[in-house]
Chains A and B, each alone.
Chain A
Amino acid sequence: MLDAIGVGSVDDLFAEIPGELRLAGKLGLPAGLSESECFDQLASLAERNADAESELCFLGAGMYDHYVPALVDAITQRSEFLTPYTPYQPEVSQGGLQVMFEFQTAISELTALPVSNASLYEGPSSVASAAYLAIGATKRRRLVVSRGLHPHSRDTLRTYARGFDAEVVEVGLEGGLTSADELQAAVDSETAAVFVQSPNFLGAVEELEQLASVAEAAGALTVASVDALTLGVLRPPGECGVDIAVGEGQQLGGRLDFGGPSFGFFCATEDHLRRMPGRIAGETMDAEGRRGFVLALQTREQHIRREKATHNICTSQALNALGGVVYLAWLGKRGVVELGELLVRRTAYARERLAELDGVELLHDAPVLREFAVRFEAPVPDVLDRVAAEGIGAGYWLGREYPEYDDGLLIALTERRSREDIDRLVDALGRAISDANDAFSPRSEEGASRPAEVPS
């Protein structure tokens, strides 16, 4: 090969790198491993994690331990879906393009908004992408955000807003729900969009229609972050006056994967189609009249429009979105309703059982679907450590993100958490709260200085 090129050595191919910039020695990395050694090393790392197979998981806060059907893995692991690039050559990418079209149809149907893109990175950055659209559409730069929006979404929005030169104003919660009065006061003629989430971070189902009407009256857009898996049961954002619905897609057949990769979705009313971020597949015909699919409206995109693009995204989450549409087909029209109903009833059961415990009260009594918040009369991190020692991940401590709910815990249900599991959780929490209070009471000198022992 070197002869064909006309050089004497591989070094000659790197001759244009100036001597002083060449790496003097070797890369300071360990030697390569055989496949079996590598597997063993990764397996031993994995063993040091308490995953949802080894403990009973009631953690949610945006990602949920739903069952991933075997079918989803089988299809997403096919070479033909796993290994191609973005479909720049549509004649040999009809499979992937049609998947995008089906995905858009499914998400649009769930949200009852007419246009959807083919995925974004994940939930919170999709919220921030909606802000970019809203600023472009309204030429306004004020973003009004409910405190019920996921803290990661609010933080991401603030990060992006510095680039957009936009102001972010937060609206508080009342009884677990976005305060309509505060929202009314915060929204003005400079407001580009109002950002809400339903169910919100505390699990409460928001009065979307009422909130959207406040935004609309001021000429601002309403952006709702929604949990797509709840939309078999909940009134969809498109029927509530919402202009843009975004969300995290992990719930739809995605693994937990310690937070990613998953996918984000982005749907809107028709008038925002040409400002949408990300890839969009469109239906068309070939030269002989056959039905086919292509990347539509590419003039929005960075590879064509460069600095005038509606977004900078290139690599998105096509494979995860495929998993999402396969999951929705697996669940089907009846399954998505049944699953929603099962979650509502299991959540109601768990919430009532928890509220009966001494030292536990509901953080709010707004309607909930799959997740709810309680308050403990005991230090939450200590209680969590105690139940973790029994192999239970009881939920998400609200204190880190919400100082006002320092005593709060967010508990999530999925179809994998049976009544028996819930009873076990209630039982363990009851004991842990009581033990924690004993340990921290002034009468127990020894316990007060000794945190619970937890195997790491």
Chain B
Amino acid sequence: VTAPNPPTTADVPTPQQRERATTIFERSVAGRRAGTLPPLDVPERPLDELIPRRLLRERPPELPEVSEPEIVRHYNRLSRRNFDLDTGPYPLGSCTMKHNPRLNERVAALPGHARLHPAQDPKRAQGALDLMWRLERALAEICGLPHISLQPSAGSHGELAGLLLTRAYHEDRGERRHRVLTPDTAHGTNPASVTMAGYEVVKVATDERGGVDLDDLRSKVDADVACLMLTNPNTLGVFDERIAEITQLVRDAGGTLYYDGANLNAIMGRTRPGDMGFDIVHVNLHKSFSQPHGGGGPGAGPIAVSDRIEPFLPVPRLVRREGADGAAPAFDFEYERPKSIGRLRGFAGNFGVFVRSYAYIASLGGDGLTEASETAVLNANYLLARLRRGRAGRFLPLAFDRLCMHEFVLSGDAAKRELGVKTLDVAKRLLDYGFHPPTIYFPLLVDEALMFEPTETETREGLDALADAIEEILVEAERDPEVTRNAPYTTPVRRLDEAAASRRPVVRQPL
């Protein structure tokens, strides 16, 4: 390590730390403004002649009064108080923080996409429908399932869709089932979606190798089980090699098989959920397909389904009709689908996300996507190999000792017992070193979990630097655990009182 370690005190506050956070409302000065509007070019009739006074607002809302340069400065200042993927490594597990190609932003902003009204007659939006069709076909190929609905807005929305599809499927067969199985390693969205869809969650245990505990599964699969929701590789980064047996078990009992596609980045072009026996898959376009995360959205969560689920897909359905006599095919939306679960949202989905993800798929092609997954798995295993050595190997051992796929989970239990530093402390100290921490305290079955997903767009140098930083943090902790416990020192604010924010919530500014 050539560079000196980051500060171990905050005795001298940084310029950002000295600056008090000020909101856009606090910058408001009466009479200032930024935007201007076109002049009134129609008769100036009194408002209450057009709308009864009782329906009109008496006092204008207190929006800020600020000039354009002040708005720019304000949000630029705020932006500098964010860590982002374009600044440094972001190995957040199960989030797939891969590079966001800027080409995708450019094509999404083309007026033919950005200014296309969603209620435009499909006859006059053929380019958009064609793009959606191409994206559907590509996702079908990647997932190994024939039918797609692009409509869900995010992964959890896709999960809800999948569970409502499951319900419709069983009801169509005259069955009412009540329980949905999810492993104890599942993403939190899985059980939350199960409840929203009116089902009861039944947890399935994890075995000593990190896969589904087959005995536990067998004891819980029965004619009341509507569905099994699974991620494979799971949130431990472990590929369950008995997956075919697992899906067959549930299928034999009449249940549907749901694949949480949050971890699809591990397997593209190598294996496919449809081939593993799954009926329904959601795909996070904001994970595997490079839609920027935007600080918490937007994303999109298209679903791929098997033939037996297809009749129930949401409306509208995108259809392609062959042109007569060699004419180009025509695309349309179909609404009359009697068995459909109905709509999940307005219009046809997050089209702007479709444009970016389609551009990503078109850029990489089939081989490129396969290589992306291979490199993601290679990077994860390389980082893991680096972290098996030295102090990390001793204080932060791998939770389930085997090769990983695109992500892996370490346990900080030894660091907590032997060094007196918790996973939270290690994560906060990583901030001082210029890295975003991994996902922490998830999955729940690993004590003091740290879940790393480096993705394919990190370089070997970047991975080495991350491993070096973790080693250095553990050296510091051996020497003086207080350094770790009090981190971070260099961020715009230091550790925040999250409990107070929930005890006495202040969720807006009084004006």
Q: Is the CB of A51 within 8 A of B117?
A: yes
Query: What are the 8 A-B residue pairs with the smallest beta carbon separation, nearest first?
Result: A46-B112, A259-B347, A319-B294, A48-B127, A32-B365, A259-B118, A261-B298, A27-B366
CB-contacts of A321-345 with B (<8 A): 322, 325-326, 328-339, 341-342, 344-345
The minimal Cβ–Cβ distance linking B4 to chain A, given in whole angstroms, is 21
- Given A10, A263, A291, A345, which contacts B42 in the complex, CB threshold below 8 Å? A345
Q: Are B507 and A115 in contact (CB under 8 A)?
A: yes
Of the candidates B50, B85, B153, the one whose C-beta lies within 8 Å of that of A121 is B153
A143 CB–B CB distance under 8 Å:
no
Given contacts A21-B243, A163-B167, contact A54 B111 (CB under 8 A): yes
Interface flag for A431 (CB, 8 Å):
no
Q: Which residues of A contact B214 (CB under 8 A)?
A: none
Known: A13-B403, A48-B126, A91-B491. A29 touches B141 (CB 8 A): yes
Give the CA-CA distance A99 to B76 in the complex, in Å: 12
Most chain A CB within 10 A, of B90, B131, B314, B335, is at B131
For residue B283, CB closer than 8 A to chain A, the reply is no
**Cα of A354 to Cα of B208 in the assembled complex, Å:** 73
- Set A27, A30, A308: member contacting B195, Cβ < 8 A: A308
In the assembly, what is the distance between CA of A329 and CA of B36, in Å? 12
Say yes or no: A315-B154 contact (C-beta < 8 A), given A124-B345, A292-B493.
Answer: yes
* Cα distance, A35 to B80, chains bound together (Å): 30
**Cα distance A287–B112 in the bound complex, in angstroms:** 50
B-chain residues with CB within 8 Å of residue A205 when the two chains form the complex: 51, 55
Q: Which of A415-455 contact B (CB under 8 A)?
A: 415-416, 418-420, 422, 454
A319 to B352, CA, bound (A): 13
Contact B493 A312 (CB under 8 A): no
Residues of A within 8 A of B249 (CB): none
Are A313 and B156 neighbours in the complex by a CB distance under 8 Å?
Answer: yes
A345 touches B44 (CB 8 A): yes
Quick one: which of B301-332 are within 8 Å of A by CB? 314
Q: How far is the CA of A314 from the CA of B284 in the complex (A)?
A: 12
Q: Determine which of A18, A152, A345, A396 lies in contact with B50 in the assembled complex, contact meaning CB atoms within 8 Å.
A: A345
Known: A27-B366, A27-B369. A109 touches B195 (CB 8 A): no
Q: Shortest distance in angstroms between B134's beta carbon and chain A's nearest beta carbon?
A: 8
State whether A158 touches B342 (Cβ < 8 A): yes
B177 shortest CB reach to chain A, Å? 14
A10 B118 Cβ-Cβ under 8 A: no
Q: Is A399 positioned at the interface, with any CB of B under 8 Å from its CB?
A: no
Q: A17 contacts the other chain (Cβ, under 8 Å)?
A: yes
Binds B, one of A187-195, A216-224, A294-302: A294-302
The reply to whether B351 and A29 form a contact with Cβ atoms under 8 Å apart is no
Name the segment of B355-363, B413-421, B475-483 touching the other chain.
Answer: B355-363
Of B18-26, B217-225, B250-258, B392-400, the segment with at least 4 beta carbons within 8 Å of chain A is B18-26
Give Cα distance in the complex from A18 to B240, angstroms: 9
Closest B residue, CB atoms, query A10: B374
Q: Is there an interface contact between B38 and A456, defined as CB atoms closer than 8 Å?
A: no
Q: In the complex, what residue of chain A is closest to B156 when comparing beta carbons?
A: A312
Instruction: Enumerate B458-511 residues with CB–CB distance to A below 8 Å.
Output: 460, 488, 491-498, 500-502, 505-509, 511
Q: Which of B432-462 contact A (CB under 8 A)?
A: 436-437, 439, 442, 460
The tally of CB-CB contacts under 8 A between chains A and B is: 704
Given the known interface contacts A22-B270, A54-B111, A159-B341, the answer about A101 and B23 at a Cβ–Cβ threshold of 8 Å is: yes
Question: Within 8 Å of chain B (Cβ to Cβ): is A348?
Answer: yes
* Bound CA–CA A349/B41 (angstroms): 10
Task: Mark out the residues of chain B between 366 and 380 whose CB falls within 8 Å of any chain A CB in the assembled complex.
Answer: 366-370, 374, 377-378
Is B264 part of the binding interface, using a Cβ–Cβ cutoff of 8 Å? no
Interface check B12, CB cutoff 8 A: no
A202 at interface (Cβ–Cβ under 8 A)?
Answer: no
Add 7 more A-B contacts to A125-B344, A335-B63 (CB < 8 A).
A23-B269, A42-B362, A81-B295, A99-B75, A297-B505, A302-B191, A312-B160
**Bound-complex Cα distance A428 to B359 (A):** 38
Report how many residues on chain B are interfacial, defined by Cβ distance under 8 Å: 199
- The reply to whether the CB of B286 lies closer than 8 angstroms to some CB of chain A is yes
Cα–Cα distance between A293 and B500 once the two chains are bound (Å): 11
Known: A49-B124, A236-B61, A313-B154. A89 touches B431 (CB 8 A): yes
Given known contacts A27-B269, A101-B507, A314-B154, is B496 in contact with A53 (CB within 8 Å)? Answer: no
Cβ of B239 within 8 Å of any chain A Cβ, yes or no, is yes
Residues of chain A within 8 A (CB-CB) of B50 are 344-345, 348, 367
Contact pick for A71, options B72, B269, B363, CB 8 Å:
B72
B346 touches A91 (CB 8 A): no
> Would you call A369 an interface residue if the criterion is a C-beta within 8 Å of the partner chain's C-beta atoms?
yes
Q: How far is the CB of B313 from chain A (nearest CB, A)?
A: 12
CB distance from A125 to the nearest CB of B (A): 4
Residues of B within 8 A of A158 (CB): 342
Please measure, in the bound complex, the distance between the C-alpha atom of A318 and the C-alpha atom of B363, giving whole angstroms.
27
Among A22, A59, A299, A314, point to the contact of B119 (Cβ < 8 A): A59
**Interface 0/1 of B97-121, CB less than 8 Å to A:** 1001001011111111111111111
Question: Closest approach, in angstroms, between the C-beta of A65 and any C-beta of chain B?
Answer: 7
User: Among the listed B63, B76, B118, B363, which residue makes an inter-chain contact with A35, where contact means beta carbons less than 8 Å apart?
Assistant: B363
